[in-house]
Chains A and B, each alone.
Chain A
Amino acid sequence: MADEHNMRRVTAIKNGTVIDHIPSGQALKVLELLSLSGDTSVPVSLVMNVPSKKMGSKDIIKVEDRELTQSELDRLALVAPDSSIAIIRAYSVAEKLNVNLGDEVRNVVRCTFSNCITQNPREPLAHRLRVTKTDPLTLRCHYCQRPQDLDELIHNLL
């Protein structure tokens, strides 16, 4: 009942993507990760801090007229690894997707260490962060091996 009520807080979308089970307070970061925060062409609805049976409280995002791709969604692993995603077509769920973290985050963010070789923006090789632990999420740069500060990392999106 709580979930149904939450979904009705904003209008149901005809086509697009719904990202549910985002940890409370992280929705704005998710928008940033998906490069939707500055995009004024796409209607986006945001619900924050609503009750959730599974999580206590959670955030929800609805993106209209845009089906996010798996590689776009994998970026969510940095702040909302357990979120559930539904692709909506003609008001019904056409596909369900999960965030897939894998063992490396490639070309999503730049290492946070100021003296890492990857700080030179002209160096052409991929930015690679290795997942060394998933709970809590721990990442290390493939090159300099420094552990990454997740709060800082969000500002280093490529």
Chain B
Amino acid sequence: MKGLITMDDLTNEDIHSILADAERLLPIARGEAYLPLLQGKILGNLFFEPSTRTRMSFETAMKRLGGDVVNLGDVKTSSVVKGETLFDTIQMVDGYTDIIAMRHPRQGAARYAQDAARVPILNGGDGAGHHPTQTMLDLFTIQQSHGTLEGLTVILAGDLRYGRTVHSLSHALVRFGCRLIFASPELLRMPAEIVEDLREHGADVTETEDLLGNINQADVVYMTRIQKERFADEDEYAKVAGAYKLHARDLDNAKSEMVILHPLPRVDEIHPSVDSTRHARYFEQAFNGVVARMALLCRLLNIEVPTEIAGGDA
């Protein structure tokens, strides 16, 4: 494996072993232990699109492991605005760093960058394409909650059309035999070619507009934000989006071990009353972004994570 562009770059065995590394790195991510595994290594953070969590968690992951980070900075003041091609930008950063994390508005940009680069590329989102490091932290959180990734029933809800996190996650879950329920407004359905792909891989996929009526079957409910600007007018948005808002009272019939995830930021789709229920896992999920990215940085830089790490109870 050179870089991580889509989940297809990882075998199921790779996924299990990276998640096991992440588990062992938890005390370091929490700041309870210090282990400079990546000392002397430099991460290039190339975010051509705004990002808070992904960029910060990459930076935190690198620094917790003793490594350093250089940032592209604001795209508006960088060489990109002068018309530099992605190819040229990558040539430059490739010479400065040992590994690159990038997000780009155009689909396929990460694969393109990997073909142009000598160092590994970590895809932090390319257009409506893939977001595999988010998928790894989602899988980590699901495994933490259920002790397994196998055979779960997972509802993915909200904007399934443009939400790249749900595209990568669906592909990964199907590889572990999960049953998928896609709950979305008609306008924001999972792209047909993705549903087709998943079914070709033997997936059990149900498409519905009814989120609340299916919650009692779920082991995991993965919520996403529905953006107003996807709709022609605000009335239509208000009419549709209401059906994809979770309130604590909607969870009465949920399985006791069911967990709710969200890639964040949330707006109205999860009411604050859900935060104090046993189902809420989205803040742990955001924290897990650091530990999952620590494990991925080590893997792509060929740094072995020790089997025993002192300083924590993980």
Contacts and interface: CB of A to CB of B under 8 A. Distances in A.
Nearest to B111: A143
B107 A146 contact: yes
Contacts of B128: 115
A122 interface: yes
A117 B104 contact: yes
Contacts of A141: 108
Interface in B103-140: 104-109, 111-112, 115-116, 126-129
B6 A123 contact: no
B248 interface: no
Contacts of A147: 193
Given A115-B106, A117-B106, A117-B112, A144 B193 contact: no
A117 B107 contact: yes
Given A117-B86, A144-B127, A123 B108 contact: no
Contacts of B83: 122
A113 B107 contact: yes
B86 A123 contact: yes
Contacts of A120: 85-86, 106
Interface string B1-31: 0000010000000000000000000000000
8 contacts: A117-B86, A117-B106, A117-B108, A118-B112, A125-B116, A142-B111, A143-B108, A144-B127
* Size category of the binding interface on chain A: 10 to 19
A116 interface: yes
B87 interface: yes
B85 A122 contact: yes
A144 B193 CA distance: 13
Given A117-B112, A145-B129, A124 B107 contact: no
Contact of B6 (A115, A116, A145): A145
Contacts of B108: 111, 116-118, 141-145
B142 to A, nearest CB: 24
Interface in A115-158: 115-120, 122-125, 141-147
Contacts of B86: 117, 120, 123
Chain B interface, >50% SS class: mixed
Contacts of B104: 117
A119 to B, nearest CB: 7
Contacts, number: 59
Interface of A: 111, 113, 115-120, 122-125, 141-147
A124 B129 contact: no
B213 to A, nearest CB: 32
Interface string B91-110: 00000000000001111110
Interface string B51-73: 00000000000000000000000
Contacts of A119: 106
B85 A116 contact: no
Greatest chain B CB density within 10 A among A117, A124, A142 is at A117
Nearest to B104: A117
Contacts of A116: 106-108
A7 to B, nearest CB: 43
A120 B129 CA distance: 17
Given A117-B107, A125-B112, A125-B116, A144 B85 contact: no
A124 B85 contact: yes
A135 B169 CA distance: 30
Contacts of B126: 117, 144
A146 B6 CA distance: 13
Contacts of B85: 120, 122-124
